[in-house]
Structure 1
Amino acid sequence: MISSERKVEFYKALVEKKTEYEGVFYVGVKTTGVFCRPTCPARKPKEENCEFFETAKQALLASFRPCKRCRPLSHPNQVTEIVQKLVEAVEKNPEKRWKDYDFKELSMDASTARRQFKKRFGMTFVEYARARRMGIAMKQIRSGEAVIEAQLSTGYESSSGFRDAFSRIMGSAPTLLNQTNVLKASWIDTRLGPMIAIADDRFLYLLEFVDRRGLEKEVERLRDKKKSAIIPGHSWPISSIENELNQYFDGQLTEFKTPVFYLGSDFQKSVWEELKKIPAGETRKYSEIANAVGKPTAYRAVARANGANQLAIVVPCHRVINSNGDLAGYGGGLTRKKWLIDHENHGG
């Protein structure tokens, strides 16, 4: 999360259009719903209407769309035809899931599009399109706006476009609020970035950083297993975990009490329960977890179960490391994993 001092610095750079900040940050303008580069020629917004991001992907996941004047998804001094065409194509149809034949219809090679986006933005074009779709769903989850307000703020001229994009992620049109099987989804701001929490009135089912790779599939898997619609909203478990996360990041809590529900195999559940037994400030190796669950040769399966955890921080998969002491993978990113381990080791 960007510090308050850094935000002041970024706003000053935005007002003065300082070119040395190109690529350092992007600014989302709350009143227009677009995000820009620091040197955008448009009239500068008030500071309270600005939201700053270190990457374009973060801005997309926060539901901002790229500015048409400064084109933040293009090189400052060069707007490639491929990048321009693809960004425009996504804005015309944000709910679209791109396949190789879609690139052929635009007379371009899919691998070329992937390379250009990866080189400039640190993500492939398909990842960009996915982030844009996810951002649309996150917009309503984040603010709990009325459907029509969320539709207009994301730039849709038709309600069907917004509804389709939302339902692709969450499994139900946002107006269908009276279904029997409903899960509530809420946006939670934390020191390490925003998270999404999904729960019913009794249990927390999912807690993940919104920029986690594969989050869209995790939501889809949860939706399918529960046979439920997911709508923006709050419930007791969400309020509980939000309060506990605040205490955790303040160094006042190490064990979470919010009731959770595991959606996994018996083996996965046994691994997740074992993870919760690891004391804060300590780490375990995959082999040690395998021994603890009575499957000493199943350390690879333990690693897969670790990666399938849908309750970040609460089920502390970040406390598991490689046998050689390396941090190994983490869905929220290795930087966050290291921060969490250090935070717990030093008591906040």
Structure 2
Amino acid sequence: MIADDLKEQYYQALLAKDSEYEGLFYVGVKTTGVFCRPTCPARKPKFENCEFYETAQQALLASFRPCQRCRPLSHPNHVSDVVRLLVEAVEHNPEKRWKEQDFKDLSIDESTARRQFKKRFGMTFVEYARARRMGLALKNIRSGHTVIDSQLSTGYESSSGFRDAFSRIMGAAPTHVNDGQVLKASWIDTRLGPMMAVADEKQLYLLEFIDRRGLEREVERLRIRTKSAIVPGMTPPIQSIEQELEQYFDGTLTTFDTPLFYLGTPFQKKVWEQLSLIPAGETRSYQEIAIALGKPTACRAVAQANGANQLAIVIPCHRVINTSGELGGYGGGITRKNWLLQHEKQRSLQ
């Protein structure tokens, strides 16, 4: 049974289409007989016509049917048929330069493709296809192929145009990539909403909720500090963390084994190591973390290091609360922080 004050909170989240509440509740609309996720784009019902449920199963058992617009039985931002078809087409011929006629041949509206890719990947389809071509060019260059060969194979007749496009997408000019590295970014669907994972072939560098404020700047800082190109793709650490997150949300896993890369100062790394020692189902205050580090007056520095954590959930900064017992801040949102703590507490009691 959901408390009345929580129902009002959920209703306000529904009106705001607040993605922070994804996976926390579903709303059944008595006038239509359907149930929706918090971010449903449909016209919002009156409060008195809403029934709130913690799971989709509860809504189904209450005789509500799933909404056809927000599809509450699939992951948030589930890949549409248009996105899936175009991704497959790019993989079939990744060096192809897309033109208007190519969309017509697939019976796909170009503006629809642009909009859906922007929502899913943070880039238009043309940018996605270009990034994929550039990824191949980067691979060729690192394998010993000349820049001109890679330029021509990806469809650029102008060397300046190739360099500009390469630098804009990859963050490095093609003659410099041998001195740097490539990080790959992938989208991971979770119960609490989509997350972005960034990793190389060996370690995970970043894991954040897509709607975290300032995520773009966070990714840009990562690119600059590691002197890396960041492109769409999949690596073993991303595959590993995707599987572990699924187990974590199912309640069958509390510690993570995916190899991590800590990008921070020596003090920040010590704080993150302390966070990793907090057992699931328990919390520590900033003061307690500072004392454990032998720096009892460094509460503010501990809080700043906590906020600088780029590996959400895996480095459990959500387990750190204020000395007063209040939750304090969290990059993914207080609602998610509370859910994570309750989730872990329930699992630790089983």
Is the Cα–Cα contact under 8 Å of residues 207 and 310 in structure 2 kept in the other structure?
Answer: yes
- Report how far residue 337 of structure 1 moved: 0.2
In 1, the alpha carbon distance for the partners of 2:177 and 2:263 equals 24
SS in 2 for 1:185: strand
Give the SS at the match of 1:258: coil
Aligned to 1:206: 206
- Specify every segment of 5 or more residues in structure 1 that has no aligned partner in the other structure, as ranges: 24-45, 63-131, 151-158
Match of 1:147 among 121, 130, 144: 130
Residue matched to 2:232: 232
- Identical positions, percent: 58
Could you tell me which of 122, 128, 135 is aligned with 1:138? 122
What is the SS of the residue equivalent to 1:146? helix
Quick one: which amino acid aligns to residue 147 of structure 1? Answer: R
What amino acid does structure 2 have at the position aligned with 1:341?
L
State the partner residue of 2:342: 342
Over the aligned positions, Cα root-mean-square deviation in angstroms equals 4.4
Matched residue, 2:257: 257
Q: Distance in 1 between matches of 2:201 and 2:167?
A: 22
Q: Give the AA of the match of 1:270.
A: K
State the one-letter code of the partner of 1:146: A
Q: 2:304 maps to which residue? A: 304
The code of the aligned residue for 1:219 comes to V
Q: Does 1:9 align with 2:38?
A: no
Q: How many residues align?
A: 233
Q: Deviations over 1:166-213 (max 9, x none)?
A: 97686369xx99995110000000000000000000100000000001
> In structure 2, what is the equivalent of residue 221 of structure 1?
221
Structure 1 residues 19 and 169: CA distance shift in structure 2, 3 A: same
TM-score relative to the length of structure 2 = 0.56
Contact 2:188–2:197 (CA<8 Å) still a contact in 1?
yes
Report the CA distance between 1:216 and its aligned residue.
1.0
Q: Report 1:52-201 matches (<5 A).
A: 135=119, 137-139=121-123, 146-147=129-130, 171=171, 181-201=181-201
Is the 8 Å Cα contact of residues 182 and 200 (structure 1) preserved in structure 2? yes
Q: Which has the larger radius of gyration?
A: 2
2:344 aligned counterpart, secondary structure: helix
1:24-63 Cα distance to aligned partner (Å, 9 max, x none)? xxxxxxxxxxxxxxxxxxxxxx94xx5569xxxx98xx9x
Q: Which residue is 2:140 aligned to?
A: none
Q: Which amino acid aligns with 2:340?
A: L
1:289 paired residue number: 289
CA gap 1:147/1:247 in 2 versus in 1, 3 angstroms: same
Higher alpha-carbon deviation: 191-200 or 217-226: 217-226
Deviations 1:72-109 (A, max 9, x none): xxxxxxxxxxxxxxxxxxxxxxxxxxxxxxxxxxxxxx
| CA spacing shift, 1:140–1:209, aligned 2, 3 Å | farther
The verdict on how the C-alpha distance between 1:331 and 1:167 changes in structure 2, with shifts beyond 3 A counting, is: farther
